[in-house]
Structure 1
Amino acid sequence: MKVSNQTYSINGFLRMIGDGRDLASEEAAVLFDLLRAETRIEKLIELLNAWREKGYTSTEIASCASILRREVKRVACRHDSFIDVVGTGGSRVKTFNVSTAAALVAAGAGLPVAKHGNRAASSKTGSADALSELGVSLTADSEAAGMSLNESGICFMFAPHFHNLTKELAVARKQVGTPTIFNLLGPIANPAGAPFQLIGIWEGSFSGIYAEAIRSLGTKRTWIVHGSDGLDEITLSGPTRVTEINERGVNHFKVSPSDFGLKDSSTDRLRVSTPKESAQLVRAVIEGYENGPARDLVVMNAGAALFIADIVKDLREGRALAEESLRSGKAAEKLKVLRGETD
């Protein structure tokens, strides 16, 4: 089926989606182009809400992500194995930026990390918000990001600099205030094309369709994780549901703190309300001032990243290597790299 945005309109798609009709790949692509061209914020809000209420399909997600991947300002990477540790945002459990801290720890353990992120649209604090509070500039272009990734093993790619999305769309997402399809698209449109990913998702029931979208796009190995407490990370308070996508297919299983050699612990005290509070906890973990649940939560997720990328043979070894990254100061060195203080 061949369609064009001359045939369809925002109002036409609103009627279609309002009737509960799922979109074919070509239709989703046209809608995505219309969204990026629309300047009426109220119309964007109406469509984003309607699409969320209908529910997304793997075809719709993959079609839109393919456009972002095709048009992204690409970051060239010379590493064969590197990862992105990222969350979709939107979790009802508003903890500090665990994936941001875990990315620093994993990089300190020797796994190159191409971190892709944005400011919060449906969360208390996005990775860009926390990193900005930590003194990291968000201005790196594709050349600078590539140089940092290739020479220092870590980079941060601020999404608005790499994707062709409008300010009106950003405003609409912020006003919607709840997760939209863009929360799902960002993590799978990494400008460096990370072959390994650890993705936290705000709603566990989306894992299946998300996995099918990722499988169709291609990955070496990706984990989609959702904690039993609602955390969009591997949680410390109980089991975490994992959906793994690799070159052989899709698998579902659970992991628990005991798999990492840790005890269950509440994450209630790890909740934050502002980027500043998040940055303070990230710094405390990375610089060795925090030795409690926040540290355990970070080393679990960093350890999983190391396991996903085949750096270690199991999750316990991953946790141990993550802990060494903190003890040695190598994780802290990676934060200095992002701040431009050292190479």
Structure 2
Amino acid sequence: MLRPPGTARRGGLTLTQTPEQRTYYRPGEAFRELLRERARGPASVGPLAPEVCERAMCEILSGGATPAQAAGFLLVGRAAGDSPEELAAYTRALRGFVRELPADRPTVSVAGGFDGKLRTANIGAAASMVAAAAGARVVMVGGEGISPKEGRTGFDALKNLGIPAPQTLAEAAGSLGRHGLAATSPEHYLPALHALTPLRWEMTRRTVLNVVEKLVSPVTGASLMVGVTHASSMKGVPEALLELGTPPALVYQAVEGSDEAALDGTSALVLLRDGELEPFRVEPESLGLGRATRSELPPPQEKEEACVLEAVLAGEPGPVADLIIYNAALRLWMSEGAIGELRDLVERAREAVRSGRAAEHLQGLRAAGQGVSDAPAD
């Protein structure tokens, strides 16, 4: 192999020789300083300055860190824990790599765990469909094959209903404008993050990436709905969004950390609006809904899930229907800036099902996925 004069390979390093100097170049050399800052001794591992976090994430996303360096930084960060300020800094870095999905109306971006669910069916896709049928603009964001679970996602639920997912940005823009519903993934709107998928499998553990990927939307200015798993996230995630100065956002403890707010009377929610955080809980009976416990959700089996969701969209009542209507109402609420009474939006969602509009919406989305022309949604 020919090399430029004055260079040689020794032990995986490139030796550059000039008349004035001889220096070694190591891949990832610039990242070593950041890794030293992160991976200090046990007694001194703690929060990093936000500017260090942002710079490190930018380097990781742009390929400035080797896989070993990126994994080391992220895993030590998992052990140390991430403050709201750190989460905000990492999110700012991710947002700088986003490819935009245009939207001409107020939109809500909905995200849960990108690694999916293992124990219960996905109802978030049906809730998004009902909300769109009731007049909302909803973008579902998520991943496929994400560590550590690689569970079944909302995209799987859409595909089981005959709707292709995830969509490219061009497909998502068309679907959002015509049907009020789009579903896309980092492969299309954040390819720098998508490129880290193999590394995330090698690390085997969740890292800060599993949190901040949910705080990024391809739609600029969209309201956010963020489902989280653990009670500890109900403090850090809302405070990080507050630090970012984001549009209205709703953070909630979700079923298996998905995009589905629970309807059992115990789930905590935090609303971010006008620079204030408002924690609250919802009593299902106050909205005219019954309680839906996890045991009443169908198992994550493709045929059973699709049958249950399609039956609810066609008007079949029951706990799953109440859970879908509740989550549809939350999507409506957030798509309209968290203004108005949630009970009124429950009625709008219920009417979208009762009138048959939700079932018609499903047929329209199926037809569009098959390349069949259909009339725009109202």
Which of 78, 86, 94 is the matching residue for 2:104? 78
Conserved 8 A contact 2:113-2:214: yes
Q: Which residue of 2 aligns with 1:169?
A: 196
Partner of 1:269: 296
For residue 202 of structure 1, what is the aligned residue in structure 2? 229
Give distance in 2, aligned partners of 1:273 and 1:228. Answer: 13
2:248·2:338 contact (CA, 8 Å) conserved in 1? no
Select the structure with the greater relative contact order (CA < 8 A; seq sep ≥ 6): 1
Greater displacement, 28-37 / 313-322: 28-37
Question: In the alignment, what sits opposite 1:193?
Answer: 220
Conservation of the 8 A alpha-carbon contact between 2:38 and 2:45: no
> Residue 101 of structure 1: CA displacement?
1.9
Q: Tell me how far 1:237 sits from its aligned partner.
A: 2.1
Structure 1, unpaired ranges of 5+ = none
Matched-pair contact (CA < 8 Å) for 1:17–1:50 = no
Percent identity of the aligned residues?
25
> Which amino acid in 2 is paired with 1:6?
A
Give the superposition deviation at 1:298: 1.0
**Within the alignment, does 1:116 sit opposite 2:125 as a pair?**
no
Question: Which shows bigger deviation, 306-315 or 244-253?
Answer: 306-315
Shift of 1:190: 0.7
Give the distance between the partners of 2:240 and 2:176, measured in 1 at CA.
27
Q: In the alignment, what sits opposite 1:130?
A: 157
> Structure 2 vs 1, CA of residues 136 and 247 (structure 1 numbering), >3 Å: closer, same or farther?
same
Please tell me whether the aligned partners of residues 118 and 158 of structure 1 are also in contact (alpha carbons under 8 angstroms).
yes
Q: State the alpha-carbon separation in 2 of the partners of residues 87 and 193 from structure 1.
A: 19
**Equivalent of 1:69 in 60, 71, 95:** 95
Query: How has the CA–CA distance of structure 1 residues 312 and 12 changed in structure 2, closer, same or farther, with 3 Å as cutoff?
Result: closer
Offset, 1:170? 0.9
Cα root mean square deviation, aligned = 3.2
CA distance in 2, matches of 1:141, 1:230: 25
Deviation at 1:75, TM superposition (A): 1.0
The equivalent residue for 1:12 is 36
- Kept in 2: contact 1:236–1:267 (CA 8 A): no
CA contact (8 A) 1:58 1:209 kept: yes
Q: 1:167 to 1:141 in 2, by over 3 A?
A: closer
Looking at structure 1, the residues matched to 123 and 202 of structure 2 have their Cα atoms a distance apart, in angstroms, of 25
Q: In 1, distance between residues paired with 2:67 and 2:32?
A: 19
Instruction: Report the alpha carbon displacement of residue 300 of structure 1 after superposing the two structures with TM.
Output: 0.9
CA gap of 1:237–1:166, structure 2 versus 1, over 3 A, is closer
Match of 2:318 in 1: 292
Residue of structure 2 equivalent to 1:319: 346
CA 1:233–1:178 in structure 2 vs 1: closer, same or farther (change >3 Å)?
farther
The equivalences for 1:86-235 within 5 A come to: 86-88=111-113, 94-121=119-146, 122-123=148-149, 124-138=151-165, 140-165=167-192, 169-174=196-201, 176=203, 178-226=205-253, 233-235=260-262
- 2-side partners of 1:151 and 1:86: how far apart? 21
> What TM-score comes out, normalization by structure 1 length?
0.84
Deviation at 1:336, TM superposition (A): 3.9
Alpha-carbon contact 1:101-1:282 (below 8 Å) kept? yes
Calculate the TM-score normalised by the size of structure 2.
Answer: 0.77
- How far off is 1:156 after superposition? 1.5
Summarize the Cα distance change of 1:292–1:46 in structure 2 as closer, same or farther, 3 Å threshold: farther
- Which deviates more, 95-104 or 277-286? 277-286
Distance verdict in 2 for CA 1:286–1:47, change over 3 Å? farther
SS in 2 for 1:204: coil
Q: Is the 8 A contact 1:91 1:201 kept in 2?
A: no
| Mean Cα deviation higher: 56-65 or 143-152 | 143-152
Q: 1:106 to 1:208 in 2, by over 3 A?
A: same
8 Å CA contact 2:166, 2:183 repeated in 1: no
**Structure 1 pair 172/207, CA: closer, same or farther in 2 (3 Å)?**
same
Question: Equivalents in 1 of 2:311, 2:145: separation in Å?
Answer: 22
- Number of residue-to-residue matches in the alignment: 338
Deviation at 1:95, TM superposition (A): 2.6
The SS at the match of 2:262 is coil
Q: Which moved more, 1:198-207 or 1:223-232?
A: 223-232
**How far did residue 193 of structure 1 move?**
2.5
